[in-house]
Amino acid sequence: MSVVNHLPVDVDPADLEHVARCVAVLAGRLIVDERPVDLGVAQTKSSRTDIVTEMDSRSEQLLRAELARLRPDDGVLGEEGTSQAGSSGITWVVDPIDGTVNYLYEIPAYAVSVAACVGDLADPERLVPVAGAVFNPVTRELFHAYAGGGARLSVGEHERRLEVSAQTDPALALLGTGFGYDSAKRARQAALLTAVISRVRDVRRIGSAALDLCSIAAGRLDVYYESGLNPWDRAAGQLIVAEAGGVVRGVDAEPTSDLVVAGPQVLVEQLAAWVLPARTWIDPAREA
Ligand code: LIP
Protein backbone atom coordinates (compact mmCIF):
# COMPACT_ATOMS: atom_id res chain seq x y z
CA MET A 1 0.00 0.00 0.00
CA SER A 2 1.41 3.41 -1.01
CA VAL A 3 2.64 5.67 1.80
CA VAL A 4 0.22 8.32 0.49
CA ASN A 5 -2.61 6.21 1.96
CA HIS A 6 -1.14 6.83 5.43
CA LEU A 7 -1.40 10.61 5.04
CA PRO A 8 -4.00 12.50 7.11
CA VAL A 9 -6.97 13.26 4.80
CA ASP A 10 -6.46 17.03 4.69
CA VAL A 11 -2.72 16.88 3.90
CA ASP A 12 -1.30 17.32 0.37
CA PRO A 13 2.30 16.00 0.17
CA ALA A 14 3.11 18.66 -2.46
CA ASP A 15 2.33 21.35 0.16
CA LEU A 16 4.61 19.60 2.66
CA GLU A 17 7.39 19.50 0.05
CA HIS A 18 7.00 23.24 -0.47
CA VAL A 19 7.38 23.84 3.28
CA ALA A 20 10.42 21.53 3.43
CA ARG A 21 12.08 23.44 0.57
CA CYS A 22 11.43 26.86 2.11
CA VAL A 23 12.71 26.04 5.60
CA ALA A 24 15.73 24.06 4.32
CA VAL A 25 16.86 27.02 2.20
CA LEU A 26 16.29 29.47 5.07
CA ALA A 27 18.41 27.39 7.49
CA GLY A 28 21.01 26.79 4.78
CA ARG A 29 21.47 30.51 4.23
CA LEU A 30 21.78 31.04 7.99
CA ILE A 31 24.62 28.55 8.42
CA VAL A 32 26.59 30.17 5.57
CA ASP A 33 25.77 33.87 6.04
CA GLU A 34 26.08 33.87 9.84
CA ARG A 35 28.97 31.45 10.27
CA PRO A 36 31.32 32.99 12.88
CA VAL A 37 34.86 33.53 11.60
CA ASP A 38 36.20 31.67 14.63
CA LEU A 39 33.69 28.82 14.53
CA GLY A 40 34.63 26.08 16.95
CA VAL A 41 33.23 23.01 18.64
CA ALA A 42 30.49 23.98 21.09
CA GLN A 43 30.08 20.49 22.55
CA THR A 44 30.53 16.80 21.79
CA LYS A 45 27.98 13.95 21.93
CA SER A 46 28.67 10.19 21.58
CA SER A 47 32.46 10.65 21.29
CA ARG A 48 35.14 13.35 21.10
CA THR A 49 34.71 13.43 17.31
CA ASP A 50 30.89 13.63 17.37
CA ILE A 51 30.68 17.40 17.45
CA VAL A 52 28.06 20.15 17.66
CA THR A 53 28.75 23.74 16.62
CA GLU A 54 26.69 26.75 17.66
CA MET A 55 25.34 26.86 14.11
CA ASP A 56 23.88 23.33 14.38
CA SER A 57 21.83 24.59 17.36
CA ARG A 58 20.88 27.90 15.71
CA SER A 59 19.83 26.12 12.51
CA GLU A 60 17.65 23.70 14.48
CA GLN A 61 16.07 26.58 16.44
CA LEU A 62 15.25 28.35 13.17
CA LEU A 63 13.77 25.17 11.63
CA ARG A 64 11.67 24.55 14.73
CA ALA A 65 10.38 28.17 14.81
CA GLU A 66 9.54 28.22 11.08
CA LEU A 67 7.79 24.84 11.22
CA ALA A 68 5.80 25.98 14.28
CA ARG A 69 4.76 29.11 12.34
CA LEU A 70 3.87 27.30 9.09
CA ARG A 71 2.55 23.98 10.50
CA PRO A 72 1.67 24.57 14.22
CA ASP A 73 -0.04 21.18 14.74
CA ASP A 74 2.86 19.05 13.46
CA GLY A 75 5.51 17.30 15.55
CA VAL A 76 9.27 17.81 15.19
CA LEU A 77 12.25 15.47 15.76
CA GLY A 78 15.68 17.07 15.41
CA GLU A 79 19.29 15.89 15.73
CA GLU A 80 20.15 18.50 18.32
CA GLY A 81 17.51 17.39 20.79
CA THR A 82 14.11 18.57 19.59
CA SER A 83 11.46 15.91 20.14
CA GLN A 84 7.98 17.42 20.12
CA ALA A 85 4.79 15.48 19.44
CA GLY A 86 2.05 17.00 17.24
CA SER A 87 -1.67 16.40 16.70
CA SER A 88 -1.80 16.47 12.89
CA GLY A 89 -0.29 13.05 12.14
CA ILE A 90 2.77 14.68 10.52
CA THR A 91 6.21 14.76 12.20
CA TRP A 92 9.10 16.75 10.73
CA VAL A 93 12.47 14.96 10.98
CA VAL A 94 15.28 17.50 10.64
CA ASP A 95 19.07 17.50 10.50
CA PRO A 96 20.12 21.16 10.93
CA ILE A 97 23.60 20.45 9.47
CA ASP A 98 24.23 17.00 8.02
CA GLY A 99 27.98 16.70 7.55
CA THR A 100 28.88 18.82 10.58
CA VAL A 101 32.55 17.82 10.45
CA ASN A 102 32.70 18.98 6.80
CA TYR A 103 31.05 22.25 7.93
CA LEU A 104 33.68 22.74 10.64
CA TYR A 105 36.50 22.07 8.12
CA GLU A 106 34.78 24.21 5.45
CA ILE A 107 34.54 21.22 3.08
CA PRO A 108 31.59 22.25 0.84
CA ALA A 109 29.69 18.98 1.34
CA TYR A 110 27.14 19.61 4.08
CA ALA A 111 23.39 20.14 3.96
CA VAL A 112 20.17 20.92 5.78
CA SER A 113 17.84 17.93 5.61
CA VAL A 114 14.09 18.28 6.27
CA ALA A 115 11.49 15.51 5.94
CA ALA A 116 7.75 15.39 6.68
CA CYS A 117 6.92 11.91 7.98
CA VAL A 118 3.97 9.79 9.05
CA GLY A 119 4.19 7.29 11.89
CA ASP A 120 4.80 7.25 15.64
CA LEU A 121 7.33 9.68 17.15
CA ALA A 122 7.87 7.07 19.89
CA ASP A 123 9.32 4.75 17.20
CA PRO A 124 11.50 7.16 15.16
CA GLU A 125 13.26 4.41 13.22
CA ARG A 126 9.94 3.60 11.56
CA LEU A 127 8.85 7.13 10.68
CA VAL A 128 8.03 7.12 6.94
CA PRO A 129 8.89 10.21 4.85
CA VAL A 130 6.15 11.57 2.55
CA ALA A 131 7.90 14.81 1.51
CA GLY A 132 11.42 16.16 1.88
CA ALA A 133 14.20 18.52 0.86
CA VAL A 134 17.99 18.48 1.17
CA PHE A 135 19.79 21.82 0.58
CA ASN A 136 23.54 22.21 0.09
CA PRO A 137 23.95 25.94 0.78
CA VAL A 138 27.40 26.13 -0.84
CA THR A 139 26.43 24.64 -4.21
CA ARG A 140 22.88 25.98 -3.75
CA GLU A 141 21.58 22.62 -4.92
CA LEU A 142 18.12 21.84 -3.57
CA PHE A 143 17.08 18.19 -3.87
CA HIS A 144 13.40 17.59 -3.22
CA ALA A 145 10.53 15.15 -3.57
CA TYR A 146 7.10 14.16 -2.34
CA ALA A 147 5.49 10.72 -2.34
CA GLY A 148 4.20 9.93 -5.81
CA GLY A 149 5.53 13.18 -7.28
CA GLY A 150 9.01 12.18 -8.44
CA ALA A 151 12.36 13.66 -7.34
CA ARG A 152 13.95 16.88 -8.59
CA LEU A 153 17.05 19.00 -8.30
CA SER A 154 16.58 22.78 -8.34
CA VAL A 155 19.44 25.26 -8.67
CA GLY A 156 18.11 28.80 -8.89
CA GLU A 157 15.47 28.86 -11.65
CA HIS A 158 16.66 25.59 -13.16
CA GLU A 159 15.00 22.31 -12.24
CA ARG A 160 15.52 18.80 -13.49
CA ARG A 161 13.94 15.43 -12.79
CA LEU A 162 16.23 12.93 -11.05
CA GLU A 163 16.80 9.27 -11.94
CA VAL A 164 19.10 6.74 -10.30
CA SER A 165 21.97 5.16 -12.21
CA ALA A 166 21.25 2.56 -14.91
CA GLN A 167 24.42 0.69 -13.96
CA THR A 168 23.82 -3.05 -13.36
CA ASP A 169 27.42 -4.29 -13.15
CA PRO A 170 28.81 -3.97 -9.60
CA ALA A 171 32.38 -4.04 -10.91
CA LEU A 172 31.64 -0.73 -12.68
CA ALA A 173 29.68 0.75 -9.78
CA LEU A 174 30.91 3.85 -7.91
CA LEU A 175 30.15 3.09 -4.27
CA GLY A 176 29.42 5.60 -1.49
CA THR A 177 29.75 4.80 2.22
CA GLY A 178 30.53 6.36 5.59
CA PHE A 179 31.93 5.71 9.08
CA GLY A 180 30.68 6.37 12.59
CA TYR A 181 32.01 8.43 15.48
CA ASP A 182 32.99 5.37 17.57
CA SER A 183 36.58 4.31 16.74
CA ALA A 184 36.00 0.58 17.39
CA LYS A 185 32.97 0.63 15.11
CA ARG A 186 34.93 2.53 12.46
CA ALA A 187 37.52 -0.27 12.51
CA ARG A 188 34.78 -2.84 11.90
CA GLN A 189 33.22 -0.70 9.16
CA ALA A 190 36.64 -0.46 7.51
CA ALA A 191 37.02 -4.25 7.74
CA LEU A 192 33.67 -4.64 6.02
CA LEU A 193 34.74 -2.23 3.29
CA THR A 194 37.80 -4.41 2.55
CA ALA A 195 35.38 -7.20 1.64
CA VAL A 196 33.61 -4.95 -0.86
CA ILE A 197 36.19 -2.56 -2.31
CA SER A 198 37.77 -5.02 -4.78
CA ARG A 199 34.32 -5.83 -6.19
CA VAL A 200 33.32 -2.28 -7.21
CA ARG A 201 34.72 0.49 -9.45
CA ASP A 202 35.86 2.74 -6.53
CA VAL A 203 34.65 4.24 -3.25
CA ARG A 204 33.61 7.78 -2.25
CA ARG A 205 33.31 8.99 1.35
CA ILE A 206 31.41 12.33 1.02
CA GLY A 207 30.76 12.80 4.75
CA SER A 208 27.01 13.53 4.61
CA ALA A 209 24.47 10.71 4.36
CA ALA A 210 21.83 13.17 3.10
CA LEU A 211 24.13 14.21 0.22
CA ASP A 212 25.20 10.58 -0.37
CA LEU A 213 21.54 9.61 -0.87
CA CYS A 214 20.87 12.64 -3.10
CA SER A 215 23.96 11.67 -5.13
CA ILE A 216 22.36 8.25 -5.64
CA ALA A 217 19.10 9.91 -6.77
CA ALA A 218 21.09 12.06 -9.23
CA GLY A 219 23.15 9.13 -10.55
CA ARG A 220 26.39 10.70 -9.23
CA LEU A 221 26.94 7.54 -7.17
CA ASP A 222 25.74 4.14 -8.36
CA VAL A 223 25.18 2.47 -4.98
CA TYR A 224 25.55 3.35 -1.29
CA TYR A 225 25.53 1.64 2.10
CA GLU A 226 26.15 2.79 5.65
CA SER A 227 25.46 1.49 9.16
CA GLY A 228 24.78 3.65 12.22
CA LEU A 229 22.67 6.39 10.60
CA ASN A 230 20.01 8.21 12.61
CA PRO A 231 16.52 8.91 11.21
CA TRP A 232 17.43 12.60 10.62
CA ASP A 233 20.50 11.62 8.54
CA ARG A 234 18.45 9.58 6.07
CA ALA A 235 14.71 10.51 6.14
CA ALA A 236 14.58 13.09 3.32
CA GLY A 237 17.33 11.40 1.28
CA GLN A 238 15.67 7.98 1.27
CA LEU A 239 12.42 9.44 -0.13
CA ILE A 240 14.37 11.34 -2.81
CA VAL A 241 16.07 8.05 -3.86
CA ALA A 242 12.74 6.19 -3.96
CA GLU A 243 11.10 8.95 -6.03
CA ALA A 244 14.10 8.84 -8.43
CA GLY A 245 13.30 5.18 -9.16
CA GLY A 246 15.73 3.63 -6.69
CA VAL A 247 15.26 1.36 -3.69
CA VAL A 248 16.37 1.88 -0.10
CA ARG A 249 16.49 -1.11 2.22
CA GLY A 250 18.07 -2.20 5.48
CA VAL A 251 18.94 -5.56 6.95
CA ASP A 252 15.34 -6.36 6.07
CA ALA A 253 13.01 -4.42 3.77
CA GLU A 254 13.07 -1.15 5.76
CA PRO A 255 16.17 1.03 6.28
CA THR A 256 17.15 1.44 9.95
CA SER A 257 20.19 2.55 11.96
CA ASP A 258 21.47 -1.02 11.55
CA LEU A 259 21.96 -0.59 7.84
CA VAL A 260 20.95 1.48 4.85
CA VAL A 261 21.61 0.28 1.28
CA ALA A 262 20.43 2.49 -1.59
CA GLY A 263 20.58 2.53 -5.39
CA PRO A 264 19.05 0.75 -8.37
CA GLN A 265 17.42 -2.58 -7.39
CA VAL A 266 20.05 -4.84 -9.03
CA LEU A 267 23.04 -3.19 -7.33
CA VAL A 268 21.27 -2.91 -3.96
CA GLU A 269 20.49 -6.63 -3.87
CA GLN A 270 24.06 -7.50 -4.87
CA LEU A 271 25.59 -5.17 -2.29
CA ALA A 272 23.24 -6.44 0.42
CA ALA A 273 24.26 -10.00 -0.43
CA TRP A 274 27.90 -9.00 0.23
CA VAL A 275 27.29 -6.83 3.28
CA LEU A 276 24.74 -8.86 5.26
CA PRO A 277 26.90 -11.97 5.85
CA ALA A 278 29.57 -9.64 7.18
CA ARG A 279 27.20 -8.06 9.69
CA THR A 280 29.07 -9.55 12.63
CA TRP A 281 32.01 -7.38 11.56
CA ILE A 282 29.79 -4.36 12.04
CA ASP A 283 28.41 -5.42 15.43
CA PRO A 284 29.99 -8.49 17.09
CA ALA A 285 27.05 -8.69 19.48
CA ARG A 286 24.85 -9.67 16.53
CA GLU A 287 24.41 -13.18 15.30
CA ALA A 288 25.72 -13.62 11.72
C1 LIP B 1 27.00 12.28 9.58
C2 LIP B 1 26.40 11.44 8.48
C3 LIP B 1 27.51 10.65 7.77
C4 LIP B 1 28.20 9.76 8.73
C5 LIP B 1 28.79 10.57 9.86
C6 LIP B 1 27.70 11.40 10.55
P7 LIP B 1 26.18 14.33 11.07
O8 LIP B 1 25.96 12.96 10.22
O9 LIP B 1 25.75 12.25 7.58
O10 LIP B 1 27.00 9.87 6.73
O11 LIP B 1 29.20 9.02 8.08
O12 LIP B 1 29.38 9.69 10.78
O13 LIP B 1 26.78 10.54 11.17
O14 LIP B 1 26.74 13.89 12.43
O15 LIP B 1 27.14 15.22 10.37
O16 LIP B 1 24.81 14.92 11.18
Give the span between the Cα atoms of 201 and 133, in whole angstroms: 29
Q: Does residue 280 register a pLDDT over 70?
A: no
| Residue of 233, 257, 260, 282 to mutate, ligand 1, most atoms within 8 A of C-beta | 233
The per-residue pLDDT for 285 is 59
CA dist 162 → 59, 170, 217, 233, 267 (Å): 27, 21, 6, 20, 18
The per-residue pLDDT for 6 is 72
Residue 80 in contact with ligand 1 by CB distance below 6 A: no
Q: Which one-letter amino acid corresponds to residue 236?
A: A
The per-residue pLDDT for 161 is 98
Q: Does residue 284 register a pLDDT over 80?
A: no
Residue 179 in contact with ligand 1 by CB distance below 6 A: yes
Residue 98 in contact with ligand 1 by CB distance below 6 A: yes
Quick: pLDDT tens for 243-275: 999 999 999 899 999 999 999 999 999 999 999
101 CA to centre of ligand 1 in angstroms: 8
Residue 96 in contact with ligand 1 by CB distance below 6 A: no
Q: Does residue 286 register a pLDDT over 70?
A: no
Quick: pLDDT tens for 59-91: 999 999 999 999 999 999 999 988 999 999 999
Identify the band that residue 287 occupies on the pLDDT scale cut at 50, 70 and 90. very low
| Residue of 102, 208, 225 to mutate, ligand 1, most atoms within 8 A of C-beta | 208
- Mean pLDDT, residues 92-112: 98
- Comparison of pLDDT for 283 and 170, the residue scoring more: 170
Residue 177 in contact with ligand 1 by CB distance below 6 A: no
Pick the atom of ligand 1 nearest to 181's CA. Answer: 12
Quick: pLDDT tens for 124-166: 999 999 999 999 999 999 999 999 999 999 999 999 999 999 9
Give the span between the Cα atoms of 117 and 90, in whole angstroms: 6
The per-residue pLDDT for 199 is 97
Give the span between the Cα atoms of 6 and 130, in whole angstroms: 9
Give the span between the Cα atoms of 164 and 240, in whole angstroms: 10
Give the full edge-to-edge strand order of the sheet including 260-263: 202-204, 174-176, 223-226, 260-263, 247-249
Give the span between the Cα atoms of 206 and 52, in whole angstroms: 19
Residue 100 in contact with ligand 1 by CB distance below 6 A: yes
Q: Does residue 4 register a pLDDT over 70?
A: no
